[in-house]
Amino acid sequence: MKNIVFFSGSMNNSGGTERVASLIANELDKLGYNVSFLSLYNGNTPFFPLSDSIAIHSLYPNKVNFKKHFPQVCFKLRRFILKNNTDVLINIESMLAIYSIPALLKTNVKNICWEHFNFNVDLGNKLRRLARRLAARYCTQVITLTERDKQLWLDHLTVKTRIDAIPNPSPFEPIMPLKKINNKVVLAAGRLTSQKGFDLLIDSWQYVILKRQDWTLRIVGSGEDKAWLHDKAEALGLTDSIEWVENVTNMAEQYSQADMYVMSSRYEGLPMVLIEALSFGLPIVSFDCETGPSEIVNTECGWLTQDGDTLELGKSILLALEQLEDPNTYNAYSTAAIEQCRAKFSLTPIVKEWLKVLEY
């Protein structure tokens, strides 16, 4: 079997990128591949569980100035790859291609760039845009999370490599469809930052609560906008209808207690919260932001609204609450959510797509 190395910034991190890479790696390990993780720095105690047979390495014990150490990083990476007879290197962050492309010059190692962000987002780091340009030319293959993002790469870069879209899998097994509304809770979750648009959701909720005081909006998460968002909700008189929950370790419990999920993000890569909501059979109302929602939510399991239009989002939530009061309608939406999850976002079909990449 082939030797597969997942190249990470640091597997000690608790982000979605590391979680999904761990899921895929564990499945490949079960299938007999020789899998290992190599972190750029400080990655010897991974946050997410890995199979005992998966080796864990780091190029550096601690973070250093990687611009100053660029030649050394490339040299150390190349030495590791050749020493371990690597067949496939998977950069689980597009930025890492800056190191892997020169490190793998004149080798037969397959160099895969796995893009987890929206193409239009660089998180303030211009090197990410450079890395994408280099990956489009010199990596063996690029994997995006959505077809829309794949098209953005093709439209805006000189692409000389193969690009495929493979979504991330849900970390949860789909449950049985829900039969009816139980708790009258609309759930939203994520970091309390501008990207996630909770300020927009609060604006939308004020329209909802005018007619539906019997429902509660539960926002799960923490972040730098916490105090500002709390003040905004209070100023709009929404304190009694919004429940705030700090970051939790058991999100499954939060999904299980909710009756519907709402997302108000300004942008996404592939919003895992929507995929996770599907696996718990929750009907969804979401902004149709770039990228992801339109490839997750269809008319049978939810409602997509004009990106950034808070009035339309509020109206769609109200429409959903009205329609879902009928148990038969609610069960139909819940069933469709679970079927969508099984068909597109469960682990088995997604691993099959990765096997095609590895054997291509």
**Same domain as 193, residue 159:** no
Let me know how many helices (H) and strands (E) the chain has, helices first: 13, 13
Q: Tell me which residue range forms the domain holding 94.
A: 3-168+347-359
- Between the CA of residue 19 and those of 10, 81, 92, 329, what are the distances in Å? 12, 23, 11, 34
CA 341 to CA 346: how far, in whole Å?
6
Whether 26 maps to a domain, the answer reads yes
Mean pLDDT of 337-358: 95
Do 201 and 217 form a contact (C-beta atoms < 8 A)?
yes
Q: At what angle do helices 327-344 and 272-279 cross, to 10 degrees?
A: 120
**In this structure, what token pair is assigned to residue 190?**
């994520």
pLDDT score at 204: 98
pLDDT-derived band at 57 (thresholds 50, 70, 90) equals very high
| Least confident range of 62-71, 251-260, 349-358 | 62-71
One domain for residues 149 and 232: no
322 is a domain residue: yes
Per the DSSP assignment, residues forming a β-bridge with 187 are 218, 261
Same domain, 143 and 228: no
Co-location of 93 and 240 in the same domain: no
Fill in the amino acid letter for 29: D
Residues 30 and 133 in one domain: yes
Query: Does residue 180 lie within any of the structural domains?
Result: no
Average of per-residue pLDDT across 324-331: 98
Same domain, 55 and 162: yes
pLDDT at 67: 86
CA distance 273 to 271: 5
Average pLDDT over residues 313-338: 98
Report if residue 231 sits inside a domain.
Answer: yes
Clarify whether residues 47 and 149 are in a common domain: yes
- When pLDDT is cut at 50, 70 and 90, the band that residue 40 belongs to is very high
For the segment 45-64, the average pLDDT, to the nearest whole number, is 94
4, 6, 12, 13 alpha-carbon torsion, rounded to 10°: -150
| pLDDT at 126 > cutoff 90 | no
CA torsion sign, 323 to 328 to 329 to 330?
Answer: positive
CATH number at 46 reads 3.40.50.2000
| Among the listed residues 222, 221, 247, 219, the one whose alpha carbon sits nearest the alpha carbon of residue 233 | 219
The model's pTM: 0.90
* 8-state DSSP, 94: G
Q: Are residues 230 and 245 in the same domain?
A: yes
Instruction: Tell me if 174 is assigned to some domain.
Output: no
Do 154 and 239 belong to one domain?
A: no
> What's the mean pLDDT in 104-125?
91
- Averaged confidence pLDDT in the chain: 95
Q: Which pLDDT value is given to residue 234? A: 97
**In which region does residue 120 sit, left (phi positive, over 0), alpha (psi from -120 to 50) or beta (all else)?**
alpha
What tokens appear for 35 in the block?
């899998």
Query: Residues 209, 334: one domain?
Result: yes
3-state helix, strand, coil in the chain (%, to 5): 45, 20, 40
Residue 176 lies in a domain: no
Count of domains observed in the chain: 2
